[in-house]
């Protein structure tokens, strides 16, 4: 975890996200990045501290749902905790691309920012790589080398 620069992590397969998040951040959280939605977002809302903020860029838990989502059921906490949830798309910030590339390139060169990739060889392995991505078998970006 130190190599990636965070204090705690958990695998959502190991038990309820709400419980694991409470154990990882007993004092609550101030900022949350969400691309899952559903129970994960519900757990984050429950763990948010006063004036917490969440950036919401996806809701993969709902993409293939055939029924309306059951969670988050605690959206009323947005009021009492005075939370800010903001949706966004990367394309909204295209005008910042050149600045981003300059800054991040420097951070990568200086070692202040690191990344990891999982590489699978061969186009014939692309379906297995995609399924592995969905199962969380990758670290960082999942790539298929042709």
pTM (whole model) above 0.85: no
CA distance readout (Å), 90 to 13, 23, 58, 95, 96: 28, 32, 11, 10, 10
Kindly state whether residues 54 and 107 are assigned to the same domain.
Answer: yes
Tens of pLDDT, residue by residue, the chain (146 residues): 567 778 888 988 899 999 999 999 999 999 999 888 888 999 999 999 999 999 888 888 888 778 877 778 788 788 889 989 888 888 999 999 999 999 999 999 999 888 899 999 999 999 999 999 988 899 899 999 99
Kindly state whether residues 138 and 95 are assigned to the same domain.
Answer: no
Kindly state whether residues 90 and 123 are assigned to the same domain.
Answer: no
Range of the domain at 121: 116-146
Q: Which of 98, 97, 76, 78 shows the shortest CA–CA distance to 86?
A: 78
Is the CB of residue 60 less than 8 Å from the CB of residue 38? no
Over its C-alpha atoms, the chain yields an Rg (Å, rounded) of 18
Kindly state whether residues 24 and 50 are assigned to the same domain.
Answer: yes
Kindly state whether residues 145 and 97 are assigned to the same domain.
Answer: no
Kindly state whether residues 133 and 72 are assigned to the same domain.
Answer: no
- What is the tally of structural domains in the chain? 2
């Amino acid at each position: 975890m130190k190599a990636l620069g965070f204090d705690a992590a958990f695998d959502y397969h190991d038990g309820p996200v709400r419980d694991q998040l409470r154990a990882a951040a007993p004092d609550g959280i101030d900022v949350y990045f969400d691309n899952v939605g559903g129970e994960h977002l519900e757990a984050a809302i429950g763990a948010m501290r006063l004036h917490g903020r969440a950036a919401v860029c996806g809701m993969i838990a709902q993409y293939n749902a055939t029924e309306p989502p059951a969670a988050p059921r605690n959206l009323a906490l947005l009021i009492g905790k005075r939370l800010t949830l903001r949706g966004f798309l990367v394309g909204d910030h295209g005008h910042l691309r050149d600045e981003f590339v300059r800054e991040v390139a420097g951070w990568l060169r200086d070692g202040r920012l690191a990344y990891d990739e999982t590489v699978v060889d061969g186009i014939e392995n692309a379906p297995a790589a995609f399924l592995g991505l969905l199962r969380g078998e990758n670290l960082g970006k999942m790539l298929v080398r042709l």
